[in-house]
Amino acid sequence: MPLPPPAPLPPPPSRPLLLASTSIYRRELLARLRIPFDVASPAVDETPHLGEAPAALAQRLALAKARAVAARHPDALVIGSDQVADLDGQPIGKPGDHARAVAQLQAMRGRTVVFHTAVAVVEAASGRAWEAMATVKVRMRPLDDAQIERYLQLEQPYDCAGSAKCETLGIALLEAIESDDPTALVGLPLIATSHLLRQAGLDVLQEAR
């Protein structure tokens, strides 16, 4: 008896989905949801405002990134995200080079660092926007200078806020992680993102390929 034909694939989404980011980490995370999307650079100035709290900075930039791309693609649904590390209320950005990474890890060792990861979904055609925030508490080990130097030489995480990649060797720098959205620390909270997309009318399970 011949096998029945395969079930047809679901129709493509009615609106293009765009990720407003140049981050390879966010691109890889969003790909886990198995929904078609493209990437666009938001080209947003990420300089903090004077006295701006880390969580407020992350939230402002996530929305600004999504809106910047949505303005160029009014027919699309656009995801923007931003992460800011918070040590005692002060933002910790991407180190950019070895010396700054050393200084960041020395300041954080033996301490608890809070990572605020904001996500926004914008639909320019309707003017609607949906926002969420995931917060991760990370307790760092009391590392000595030699351990910090060895880690940085091996991984060179100079494009990561807080100078560590928890998804790879950076996990060895940590004592504990506390979060209700496990991918938030890497850069895109997928639970929150899926929720916002549902609010915007895109069901991830229906659109997955």
Q: Choose the catalytic residue: 38, 75, 82, 159.
A: 82
75, 14 Cβ separation under 8 angstroms: no
Domain ranges of the chain: 17-207
- The per-residue pLDDT for 84 is 94
Higher pLDDT, 119 or 14: 119
157, 137 Cβ separation under 8 angstroms: no
pLDDT digits (tens, 9 = 90+) for 181-208: 999 999 999 999 999 999 999 999 999 9
137, 197 Cβ separation under 8 angstroms: no
CB atoms within 10 A of CB 39: 16
Least confident of 29-33, 47-51, 56-60, 173-177: 47-51
The average pLDDT across 55-75 equals 97
Q: How far is 71 from 89, CA to CA, in rounded Å? A: 32
Q: Residue type for 36, please? A: P
pLDDT digits (tens, 9 = 90+) for 8-26: 444 444 689 999 999 999 9
Q: Residue type for 33, please? A: L
- The per-residue pLDDT for 2 is 53
One of 3.90.950.10, 3.30.300.10, 1.20.1740.10, 3.90.1300.10 is the CATH number of 17-207, namely 3.90.950.10
CA distances from 14 to 5, 81, 165, 203 (A): 26, 23, 36, 12
Q: How far is 76 from 92, CA to CA, in rounded Å? A: 32
Q: How far is 34 from 42, CA to CA, in rounded Å? A: 22
Q: What is the 3-state secondary structure (H, E, C) of the chain?
A: CCCCCCCCCCCCCCCCEEEECCCHHHHHHHHCCCCCCEEECCCCCCCCCCCCCHHHHHHHHHHHHHHHHHHHCCCCEEEEEEEEEEECCEEECCCCCHHHHHHHHHHHCCCEEEEEEEEEEEECCCCEEEEEEEEEEEEECCCCHHHHHHHHHHHCCCCCCCCCCCCCHHHHHEEEEECCCCCCCCCCCHHHHHHHHHHCCCCHHHHCC
Q: Is 82 a catalytic residue?
A: yes
Phi and psi, residue 114, nearest 5°: -105, 125
The average pLDDT across 40-67 equals 95
pTM of the model: 0.88
- The per-residue pLDDT for 5 is 53
